[in-house]
A and B are shown apart, each in its own frame.
Chain A
C-alpha cells in the first residue's frame, strides 16, 4: 500500500495529486479506511464506514480517470456525511434511537449532486441527536471526542463532521447548521465551517430540525476546499421550494469594509479570545481592509429568538416520528400508547426537552406571546443586519465565546450550553451566509474561530475575504 500523508492533504491538493499520479483513489480510500480503523473507536466519529461501497466508488473513479473521463475536481475524493442526510439504501440515524433501524429510501439532493461529481462517501458520522446540541454529547451513540484534545468536545451538532476532518479521517465533510452547528464545531476543531444563505443549498433529504433556519454546508481545512464543495452542492432544486439560485450582485476582491458590533460581545469573551479577535482585525487592516464600529441594538435577541423558533419548528418536524411508517417502535395497548411509549423512549432527553418547549410556545394562549413575538423579533433582527450590511461589506465577530470546553462541563445547565451559539445564531435568524475560519488559540492551545457574515446571497464576498484572511493569518 502506498504511504500517503493524510495530514498534508486538502481536497484541492488531493485532486492535484490524483492528476499527477502520485496515488490513485483506491490508494487514497485505503489510506483513510486504515486511519479510521486505527483512530475511530477512541474518538467515536463514524457510526458506519461504507467500506465496500467506498472501494467500489474509488475503483470506478480510477477507471474514469484512466479513460480521461474524470467528472471534475471532486472525482475520486473521499468525504464524510453527517448522519442526518439520506443516502439511498443506507441506514441513517440522526444520532437517535428513534430511527433504529431506518434505511434511506432516496438520496438527498446534495448526495445526488456529490455522486454526480464523483465524490466518495466514506461513511456516516456521529452528531447530536436530531441536530440538537452544541457539543455532540446528546447523541444516542455516545459523544464524539475532539481529536485535538479527547477530553474535550468537538462542538455540535456536526461534531462528527468536524472531528472527521480534523483527525484526518476524511478530506472534507458535510454538516448542517441551524444555530451554528457547522461553524461552532469547525471553530472548536480548527477548520473552516460555512453556512450558506438560507435556500442556497437544497434541504431535500436533510432531516428537518427547524425548517426556517436549517442549511447544509461544508467543513474543510481551507476556504478553497469550501468553495469547491459549495459549488457542487449549491443550486435551486424543484424538490425544495425554499431553495433559490444564489444571487451575487457585489463582486469585491479587496479593501473590504468590515463592521464589528463590539457592544454585542466585548463583555462575553474569555480575555484571550478578545485579544485574538483584535489581532485578527489588526492583520486585516494591514492587508488594506477597513474596520468600522457598527451598532446592532437588537442582535442580542437572536439567541432567545432562536430558542423559541427552533424548538417550535422542531416539535412540528419531529411529530412524524411515531413508529408507524419507519423506525423504533414500542407498541402499547391502544394507538395512543404506541405514540406515547415509542416517542417517550425513542427520543433522548434534550430532544424531549425541546419538543416540550416547542409544544408550549405553540399552544393556544401562548402562541402569539412567544412564537409570534419571536417571528416579529427575527424580522427586526433581519432588517437591522440588512441595514448594517448596506454600510459595510461584512460583519465580523469571534465564532464562539471560548475554545472547546470539557466533556460533561455544560450538561447540567441547558442555558450554559445554549450560550455557546450566541454569535452564530444571528446568521440563521436572518438567513445570511456566514463562515468560521481558523484564527488563533485559546488559553489551552485549542483553536479559535473568526466569523464573517455577509448579506443575503453574498457567499462570494465572505469566501473571498475569508481566503484573504487565511493568507494573512498564515503569514504570522
Chain B
C-alpha cells in the first residue's frame, strides 16, 4: 500500500535518518496500520448514526450540541511573566552566543 519512495520521502519530512532495512520494516508496519485505519471511511453509515453532513466539513449540520461539549476559548493577548530566565533557557543549548541559540547556517 505505501510505496518505498513514499517511505523515503517521509523520513526526509520527519527528519529521521533510517537504514534501508528499517525503512522496509516501517513501510510494512505503516501499510498494515493504514489498512486498519481506512475503516474510517465507513463511519457514520450505520443505522442510528448521528447526522453530521459528512460530505461538507464546515457544514453547520456538523456542529455538536453545544451544551454538552467544550468550546474553544482564547486568552487575552497580553504578555505573561516568563517561567524561566534567558540564562536558564540557554543553559542546555548545543551552542549559544550573546544570549542567542547558535545554529549552523540554514541557507547555502
A interface, CB within 8 angstroms of B: 101-103, 105-106, 197-199, 238-239, 241, 244, 295, 297-298, 301, 304-305, 307-308, 315, 319, 322-327, 329, 331, 334-336, 338-341, 343-345, 347, 352-353, 355-357, 359-360, 363, 370, 372-374, 376-377, 379-380, 382-384, 386-387, 389-390, 414-415, 431, 455-456
Decide if A327 touches B57 in the complex (CB within 8 Å).
no
Decide if A338 touches B62 in the complex (CB within 8 Å).
no
Which of A295, A324, A334 contacts B94, CB < 8 Å?
Answer: A324
A-B pairs with lowest CB-CB distance, top 4: A344-B17, A106-B83, A297-B46, A326-B92
Decide if A380 touches B50 in the complex (CB within 8 Å).
yes
Question: CB-CB < 8 A to A360: which residues of B?
Answer: 2, 6, 10, 30, 34
- Chain B, interface size category, equals 35 or more
Decide if A455 touches B103 in the complex (CB within 8 Å).
no
A276 nearest CB across to chain B (Å): 28
Question: CB-CB < 8 A to A305: which residues of B?
Answer: 37, 40, 43
Identify the closest chain B residue to A107 (Cβ).
B83
Decide if B62 touches A379 in the complex (CB within 8 Å).
yes
Decide if B69 touches A380 in the complex (CB within 8 Å).
no
Question: CB-CB < 8 A to B52: which residues of A?
Answer: 376, 379-380, 383
* Pairs A–B under 8 Å by Cβ, sample size 16: A103-B91, A105-B83, A199-B70, A298-B43, A307-B37, A329-B94, A355-B16, A357-B33, A360-B10, A363-B13, A370-B37, A379-B52, A380-B43, A383-B52, A414-B33, A415-B33
Decide if B57 touches A102 in the complex (CB within 8 Å).
no
B56 nearest CB across to chain A (Å): 10
Which residues of chain B (12-41) have a CB below 8 Å from chain A? 13-18, 22, 26, 29-30, 32-34, 36-41
B48 within 8 A of A: yes
Bound CA–CA A333/B49 (angstroms): 55
Which of A326, A344, A376 contacts B57, CB < 8 Å?
Answer: A376
Which of B14, B47, B88 contacts A315, CB < 8 Å?
Answer: B14
A94 nearest CB across to chain B (Å): 15
B interface, CB within 8 angstroms of A: 2, 6-7, 10-11, 13-18, 22, 26, 29-30, 32-34, 36-41, 43-44, 46-50, 52, 54, 57, 62, 64-65, 68-70, 73-75, 80, 83-84, 88-89, 91-94, 101, 103-106
B98 nearest CB across to chain A (Å): 16
Decide if B40 touches A325 in the complex (CB within 8 Å).
no
Identify the closest chain B residue to A346 (Cβ).
B16
B11 nearest CB across to chain A (Å): 7
A421 nearest CB across to chain B (Å): 13
Decide if B10 touches A384 in the complex (CB within 8 Å).
no
Given A352-B26, A356-B16, A373-B41, A431 contacting B70 (CB threshold 8 A): yes
Decide if B17 touches A324 in the complex (CB within 8 Å).
no
Interface of B is mostly: loop
Given A298-B49, A455-B68, A241 contacting B16 (CB threshold 8 A): no
Identify the closest chain B residue to A338 (Cβ).
B104
Decide if B69 touches A431 in the complex (CB within 8 Å).
yes
Decide if A339 touches B15 in the complex (CB within 8 Å).
yes
Identify the closest chain B residue to A204 (Cβ).
B83
Identify the closest chain B residue to A102 (Cβ).
B92
Given A301-B39, A355-B14, A360-B34, A323 contacting B94 (CB threshold 8 A): yes
B10, B37, B62, most chain A CB atoms within 10 A:
B37
Decide if A359 touches B10 in the complex (CB within 8 Å).
yes
Bound CA–CA A338/B84 (angstroms): 26
Identify the closest chain B residue to A296 (Cβ).
B48
Given A106-B83, A356-B10, A383-B64, A304 contacting B15 (CB threshold 8 A): no
Bound CA–CA A377/B10 (angstroms): 25
B15 nearest CB across to chain A (Å): 4
Given A304-B39, A323-B94, A198 contacting B70 (CB threshold 8 A): yes
Identify the closest chain B residue to A413 (Cβ).
B32
Decide if B17 touches A335 in the complex (CB within 8 Å).
no
Question: CB-CB < 8 A to A298: which residues of B?
Answer: 43-44, 46, 49-50
Given A356-B10, A414-B32, A295 contacting B93 (CB threshold 8 A): no
Decide if A308 touches B40 in the complex (CB within 8 Å).
yes
Which of A105, A384, A390 contacts B49, CB < 8 Å?
Answer: A384
B33, B34, B57, B74, most chain A CB atoms within 10 A:
B33
Bound CA–CA A171/B91 (angstroms): 35
Decide if A335 touches B106 in the complex (CB within 8 Å).
yes
Bound CA–CA A356/B12 (angstroms): 10
Question: CB-CB < 8 A to B2: which residues of A?
Answer: 360
* Contacts beyond the supplied A241-B74, A298-B50: 6 A-B pairs with Cβ under 8 Å: A307-B36, A325-B92, A338-B104, A344-B11, A363-B10, A370-B34
Question: CB-CB < 8 A to A379: which residues of B?
Answer: 52, 62, 64
B54, B104, B106, most chain A CB atoms within 10 A:
B104
Bound CA–CA A344/B57 (angstroms): 36
Bound CA–CA A347/B13 (angstroms): 15
Bound CA–CA A374/B80 (angstroms): 35
Bound CA–CA A324/B103 (angstroms): 7
Bound CA–CA A323/B47 (angstroms): 51
Bound CA–CA A244/B2 (angstroms): 41
B27 nearest CB across to chain A (Å): 9
Given A106-B83, A323-B94, A326-B92, A335 contacting B11 (CB threshold 8 A): no
